Amino acid sequence: MLVCVGALLLAGCNKDEVKVYDVPKEQAAAPAPAAAPMASQPMDRAPVAPPHWTVPTGWQEVPATGVRVRDLMVPGKDGQKAEVTIIPFPGSVGTEVDNVNRWRREIGLEPVAQENVTSESVQIGSDAGKLYDLAGAQNQTIAAVLVKDGTSWFFKLKGDKAAVVDAKQTFVQFLKSVGFDQASAPVAETAAPTSTPTAPTAEKTGPAWDVPASWHEQEASPMVLKSFSATDESGHKAVITISSFPGDVGGTLANVNRWRRQLGLAPIEEMVLDDMSSSIDVMGGKGTTFDMTGKDVKTGQPARMVAAMVPRDDSTWFYKLMGDDAVVAREKSAFVKFVQTVRY
């Protein structure tokens, strides 16, 4: 970034005990014993590496949604306003032009080619990041990107054009105050006392899924909502992960090529994407699955991956089954059925 229920279970597992989970969208995994009986339990989602910063005077921190570390409201003149969001993603998220064109689409601009992408250097804490300034007819986005310790950090100021223009210099000073250690953050000229982000508060419950007792819950890695493992009699293993991110996270092609890199496979072009994908019906819409075989770049061992993408509201849900080829083959049907029966 799996499960079978009743008639949806694979042949031979229809007598397995089923564990039911209701998972708040904005919270992270709290590991539970694999043998636990039926239960519903919340998960707390924590940042990859909790940063700290100084909040400028007049900005208001509000509960974050999705995978955001923090949302801040930025008031402007004559009722105009803007918002600052802070979002971490593991690894790289698409290409530079993928990200820029995603931001451009959000404010009604046409996509551009890589050679037309412009940026400037900006200080984010003690590191050098990139700053992009994109202006639409009515809205404007200023986005800063920093890749640090294997995580991509996105700081975005977006809103009414006049409010964004007025807040740009304060936003730049805010970026300088960001710190990734336990020391006090530097204080901007217009700043209030330092604020340390807390785990987001869930606004609603969902989704819910049913996990058979033959699958064992394991500790989730950063940015993963839930993680399970499945093994065969010989000890061969596959891992199932579930995650959710706002937007399309660079688009289908970028995500498929990211998965291919994890299997040591060469990237593909857009024109062949349909040939290697399958559409599936899911609760309230459609999902897309991909089945790839290669070598796990972390272990060097042969591996197979079945991955599913499900767009839901303004987010994309990612379900991934990866590991030993034989185990993945055995679990694929249950995994697909799980994705189809997740209740959002």
253 and 286 together in one domain: yes
Give the residue among 210, 217, 208 at the shortest CA–CA distance from 36.
Answer: 217
Q: Does any domain span residue 246?
A: yes
pTM here is 0.53
Least confident window among 11-25, 61-75, 114-128, 142-156: 11-25
66-69, long-range: CB < 8 A, 24+ apart: 66/25, 66/26, 66/244, 66/245, 66/246, 66/315, 67/223, 67/244, 67/245, 67/246, 68/200, 68/246, 69/197
61 and 88 together in one domain: yes
Structural domain count of the chain: 2
How far is 253 from 242, CA to CA, in rounded Å? 19
How far is 107 from 135, CA to CA, in rounded Å? 8
How far is 210 from 207, CA to CA, in rounded Å? 11
Q: Does any domain span residue 66?
A: yes
How far is 214 from 43, CA to CA, in rounded Å? 21
Average pLDDT over residues 120-147: 95
- Both tokens of residue 282? 């899911």
Cα dist. 305→2, 233, 322, 323 in Å?
Answer: 13, 20, 4, 7
Confidence band of 118 (pLDDT split at 50, 70, 90) = very high
What is the Cα 33 distance to its own chain's centre?
25
261 and 187 together in one domain: no
The CATH number of whichever domain residue 149 belongs to comes to 2.60.120.1690
91 and 124 together in one domain: yes
pLDDT of residue 50: 64
Least confident window among 20-24, 98-102, 130-134, 310-314: 20-24
Q: Is 284 helix (H, G, I), strand (E, B) or coil?
A: coil
* Domain-ending residue, one of 174, 195, 216: 195
84 and 127 together in one domain: yes
Residue 314 has pLDDT above 90, yes or no: no
* Domain-ending residue, one of 157, 173, 195: 195
Distance from the first to the final alpha carbon of the chain? 16
pLDDT of residue 28: 37
* Domain-ending residue, one of 195, 211, 230: 195
206 and 330 together in one domain: yes
Least confident window among 84-88, 122-126, 196-200, 249-253: 196-200
The residues pairing with 123 across neighbouring beta strands, listed in sequence order, are 128
Complete DSSP assignment for 147-172: EETTEEEEEEEEEEHHHHHHHHHHHH
What residue numbers bound the domain in which 35 lies?
6-45+202-341
Q: Does any domain span residue 181?
A: yes
Whether 90 and 150 have beta carbons less than 8 Å apart is answered as yes
Helix (H) or strand (E) holding 82, with range, is strand 81-90
175 and 308 together in one domain: no
> In the predicted model, what is the mean pLDDT of the chain?
78
128 and 155 together in one domain: yes
C-beta atoms surrounding 149 within 10 Å: 8
Write the pLDDT tens digit of every residue in 3-35. 333 333 333 444 444 444 444 443 333 333 333
pLDDT of residue 160: 95
Q: Does any domain span residue 146?
A: yes
332 and 313 together in one domain: yes
120 and 244 together in one domain: no
Write the pLDDT tens digit of every residue in 190-231. 333 334 333 333 334 568 888 877 789 998 776 788 899 999
How far is 316 from 247, CA to CA, in rounded Å? 6
pLDDT of residue 67: 60
Complete DSSP assignment for 125-141: TTEEEEEEEEE-SSEEE
Q: Does any domain span residue 177?
A: yes
Write the pLDDT tens digit of every residue in 324-339. 999 999 999 999 999 9
pLDDT of residue 6: 37
Give the residue among 229, 302, 237 at the shortest CA–CA distance from 264.
Answer: 302
pLDDT of residue 295: 95
pLDDT of residue 185: 35
Give the residue among 89, 86, 87, 88 at the shortest CA–CA distance from 55.
Answer: 86
pLDDT of residue 70: 77
Write the pLDDT tens digit of every residue in 269-304. 989 999 999 999 998 899 999 999 999 988 999 999
CA atoms within 13 A on the CB side of 242: 29
Q: Does any domain span residue 1?
A: no
264 and 163 together in one domain: no
Confidence band of 65 (pLDDT split at 50, 70, 90) = low
Average pLDDT over residues 241-261: 85
Give the residue among 208, 209, 216, 238 at the shortest CA–CA distance from 321.
Answer: 238
290 and 186 together in one domain: no
